[in-house]
């Protein structure tokens, strides 16, 4: 197997802060050591992949590099008794696609601790329609629904047409919550209502510029994927005892707030880190995604591309212009 040649996206640093991407041949022998060699069938495009593919050294320190934080495929070789050749598996998170050659190549090799057996109820393709974005949406919902039930009121989802946001809208509506979606894409109203959003509001309407520390109470819960002023506005508008989850920073890493929503309204702000989620909870979330939370719209949420199309889609996601999920067919 070590001499097996395969196709992969390779990002190279051509000069200081200058990067280019191409589809090239690699050899399995170039992959890092690991317990499980996987033939990748599908990957997916996440915002973090676009950062890695454009030379963001906060995500990927060393180039040349093959991005792709998500992969699903078939075990080809395993030195662990937990997996055998032919098993269908998912790998997301940990270091895949960051500083370990990732799912934008036809083979990956990883530690056994990163590998999840494909749950029954999901195909390899469906698992990548979820990918890290769907998993993160699931983790966010899991954290919120401990305390917030559908009868408590509306849930706000920000960055709603993006990967995590669209998946969160879908899961919440499947669970019976009334979802209000914040989106910068007015043209995607139909997409979001089809997913189950009952109302769509613009980013401008979701951003308070008054500077007031507290706003009119509206949301029972918030699933935020963007950070910055939209997250701060949402927190100031949460009802007594409400819960907010925070996973992303596409708008800004800043959070201009006072402590008042927390000390006067008992609001909880919960962080979400899918990358380091412990395996028992990881398996629980994947099993939920494969069953109770499985979207009736999973395929509509996604578009499928090949490795050769990936470059254009990386540019689109960096500009915040993509909707839903993009999966990459590695065949
Ligand atoms: N913590 C974790 O474990 C974890 C895991 C996965 C992702 N993330 C983070 O979560 C965020 C979303 O990831 P994703 O994969 O869903 O990305 P994505 O597919 O690019 O979606 C982000 C969405 O945010 C909205 N948006 C873009 N630019 C914006 C801006 N300047 N201001 C306000 N809204 C903006 C857009 O939706 P609308 O046009 O509909 O507004 C966009 O589609 C990223 O920051 C990512 O790094 C974190």
pLDDT tens for 297-321 read: 788 779 999 999 999 999 999 998 8
> If you average pLDDT over residues 205-230, what whole number do you get?
97
**Ligand 1 atom nearest to CA at 192:** 40
Q: Which domains does the chain have, with CATH numbers?
A: 5-118+301-329 (3.90.180.10), 133-271 (3.40.50.720)
pLDDT at 321: 85
pLDDT at 47: 92
Return the pLDDT at 2. 87
295 compared with 134, residue with greater pLDDT: 134
- In order of 46, 283, 297, the CA distances from 288 in angstroms are 21, 9, 16
131 touches 292 (CB < 8 A): no
pLDDT at 58 > cutoff 80: yes
**CB of 310 closer than 6 angstroms to any ligand 1 atom:** no
- Protein residue with least CA distance to atom 28, ligand 1: 320
Ligand 1 geometric centre to CA of 163 (Å)? 7
Question: Poorest-confidence range of 31-40, 65-74, 236-245, 287-296?
Answer: 287-296
- Give, using CA atoms, the residue closest to atom 33 of ligand 1: 251
Residue nearest atom 18 in ligand 1 by C-alpha distance = 162
Q: Return the percentage of the chain with pLDDT > 70, whole number.
A: 100
Average pLDDT over all residues of the chain = 96
Q: What is the pLDDT of residue 149?
A: 97
Instruction: Give the per-residue pLDDT at 186.
Output: 84
Q: Report in angstroms the alpha-carbon separations of 29 from 3, 25, 34, 191.
A: 6, 12, 11, 44
β-pair type (36-45, 70-78): antiparallel
Please name the residue whose Cα sits nearest to atom 36 of ligand 1.
Answer: 159
pLDDT at 323: 85
Ligand 1 within 6 A of CB of 196: no
**What number is the average pLDDT over the span 63-82?**
97
Judge contact between 36 and 106, C-beta under 8 A.
no
Nearest CA to ligand 1 atom 45: 248
Q: Give the model's pLDDT for residue 305.
A: 97
pLDDT band at 129 (very low <50, low <70, confident <90, very high): very high
The pair of structure tokens assigned to 126 is 């469906």
Cis peptide before 165 (omega within 30 of 0): no
- CB of 248 sitting under 6 A from ligand 1: yes
Give the closest residue (by CA) to ligand 1 atom 22.
162
For ligand 1, what atom is nearest to the CA of residue 48?
47
The token pair at 174 is 């499947």
d(CA 168, CA 201): 16
- pLDDT, position 188: 85
1 band by pLDDT with thresholds 50, 70 and 90: confident
The response to whether residue 46 sits with its C-beta less than 6 Å from ligand 1 reads: yes
132 lines ligand 1 (CB under 6 A): yes
pLDDT single digits (tens) 117-126: 999 999 999 9
Q: Is residue 162 in contact with ligand 1, taking CB distance under 6 Å? A: yes
pLDDT tens digits, residue range 255-301? 999 999 999 999 999 999 999 999 999 999 999 999 999 987 788 77
**Average pLDDT of the segment spanning 31-54:** 97
Of all protein residues, the one whose alpha carbon is nearest to atom 31 of ligand 1 is 251
Q: How far is CA 9 from CA 22, 266, 309, in A?
A: 6, 47, 11
Q: What is the pLDDT of residues 78-94, one digit of tens each?
A: 999 999 999 999 999 89
Mean pLDDT of all residues in 141-145: 97
pLDDT at 296: 79
**pLDDT grade, residue 252 (50/70/90)?**
very high
pLDDT digits (tens, 9 = 90+) for 185-217: 988 899 999 999 999 999 999 999 999 999 999
Q: Which residues of 278-298 are buried (b: 16+ CB within 10 A; e: fewer)?
A: eeeebeebbbbbbeebbbebb
The pTM for the full model equals 0.95
Of 175, 169, 118, 180, the C-alpha closest to 146 is 175
């Amino acid at each position: 197997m070590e001499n097996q040649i395969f196709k992969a996206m390779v990002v190279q640093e051509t000069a200081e802060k200058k990067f280019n991407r191409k589809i090239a041949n690699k050899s399995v022998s170039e992959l890092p050591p690991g317990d499980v060699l996987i033939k990748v069938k599908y990957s997916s495009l996440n915002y973090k992949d676009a950062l890695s593919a454009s030379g963001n050294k906060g995500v990927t320190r060393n180039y040349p590099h093959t991005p792709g934080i998500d992969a699903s495929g078939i075990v080809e070789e395993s030195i662990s008794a937990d997996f055998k050749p032919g098993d269908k598996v998912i790998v997301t998170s940990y270091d895949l696609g960051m500083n370990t050659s990732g799912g934008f190549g036809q083979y990956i090799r990883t530690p056994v601790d990163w590998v999840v057996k494909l749950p029954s109820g999901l195909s390899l393709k469906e698992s990548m329609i979820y990918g890290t974005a769907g998993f993160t949406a699931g983790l966010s919902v899991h954290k919120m629904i401990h305390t917030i039930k559908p009868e408590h009121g509306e849930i706000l989802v920000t960055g709603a047409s993006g990967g995590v946001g669209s998946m969160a809208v879908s899961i919440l509506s499947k669970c019976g919550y009334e979802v209000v979606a914040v989106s910068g894409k007015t043209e995607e109203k139909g997409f979001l209502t089809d997913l189950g959003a009952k109302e769509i509001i613009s980013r401008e309407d979701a951003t308070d510029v008054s500077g007031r520390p507290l706003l009119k109470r509206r949301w029972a819960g918030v699933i935020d994927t963007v950070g910055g002023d939209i997250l701060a506005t949402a927190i100031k508008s949460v009802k007594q005892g409400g819960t907010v989850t925070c996973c992303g920073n596409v708008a800004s890493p800043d959070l201009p707030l006072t402590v008042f929503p927390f000390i006067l309204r008992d609001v909880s702000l919960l962080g979400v880190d899918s990358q380091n989620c412990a395996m028992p909870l990881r398996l629980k979330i994947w099993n939920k995604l494969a069953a109770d939370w499985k979207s009736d719209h999973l395929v509509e949420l996604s578009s499928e591309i090949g490795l050769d199309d990936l470059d254009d889609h990386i540019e689109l996601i960096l500009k915040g212009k993509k909707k839903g999920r993009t999966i990459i067919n590695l065949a």
